[in-house]
Amino acid sequence: MIEVPDSFRAMPRWWHGGTAWLDRLPRLADDVCRRLRLTVDGPARHGSNALVLPVRRDGLPYALRLSPPDDHDLAAQVTALQFWAGRGTVLLHEADPAVGAMLLERLDVDRSPAALPLPEAVPILARVMRRLAVDPPEDVPTTRSWLRSGAERFAREWAELDRPLPGRLLAGVREAIENLLTEPGEDRAVNADLHYDQVLGGAREPWLVVDPVLARGDIEYDLARILWSRLDEMTDRAVHDHLRTVITEADLRPDRARAWVIFRAADYLFWGLRHGLTEDPPRCRRLLELFLPRPVP
């Protein structure tokens, strides 16, 4: 049987939900492998919610992803992978949501944009963003609905969180939302959770997304995450340079891309403060200061 890594047990995911599933995981993995005729052939890897085992069947390499079957994201992940069907994403071969199992294409877990210098990593994510921008399905969340939600709740959250931004920044955020809602955007498939750690090296395509979140609308929706997730490595000038790189590589409208950075930075700032995050909210504030006009002396 496999051993559950201590680092996986230490994930915040289990602090409140308990470890009962983790305790069952070795037996569960053994049962799934036996049923699907899989042989584990390497050490387990994990993110915050799922364990991934390198496995083989009939001599061919795969990856077995196991997560709690009550994970509300699981069905959506299966739907997203089935929708993109390997275009810019890892291939899904089999899924058993009842036990939280997905049999996936084996990717190179040691090759990721997260390990590359930013001038190499940023264009990769930008090209992946555009690669996923195909005709969207109908029955998925829209980026416009998220904009409307922000327009309705940001002022209230700002007050409830004891005004974590200067009033001028909140006004700038609301103006950016209004501009995004007023002007027509794209209507394409969107990965609403695009960041460096969720892109791995592949054989069919150089870079493939794992765990995509499927939405429709403006593909710039999660552009801000490309910036804030490695913001500590960037000078102020580099932030603008990397944004221009994404705009060029993903063929985006500059004003709309900047407005989406403003919206997402504010959205994640408020979310992070409500959930007790300490590192990302200051990064989001920095983005807002960089992209919203400063008062004239």
List residues with catalytic annotation.
Answer: 193
How many degrees, rounded to 5, is the angle at CA 235 between CA 232 and CA 237? 145
DSSP secondary structure string for all residues of 54-76: EEEETTEEEEEEE--TT-THHHH
**Which two structure tokens, joined as six digits, stand for 108?**
């190179």
Q: Are 227 and 261 in contact (CB under 8 A)?
A: yes
**Residue 36, burial from CB neighbour count under 10 angstroms (0-12, 13-18, 19+):** middle
CA distances (Å), origin 227, targets 92, 132, 194, 282: 29, 19, 11, 13
- Amino acid 7 reads S
Rg (CA), the chain: 20
User: Which 3 state secondary structure label does DSSP give 77?
Assistant: helix
Outline where DSSP puts E strands in the chain. 39-40, 45-46, 51-57, 60-66, 92-96, 101-105, 188-191, 199-201, 207-209, 214-217
Count CA within 13 A, CB hemisphere, residue 269.
27
How many degrees, rounded to 5, is the angle at CA 287 between CA 281 and CA 293? 130
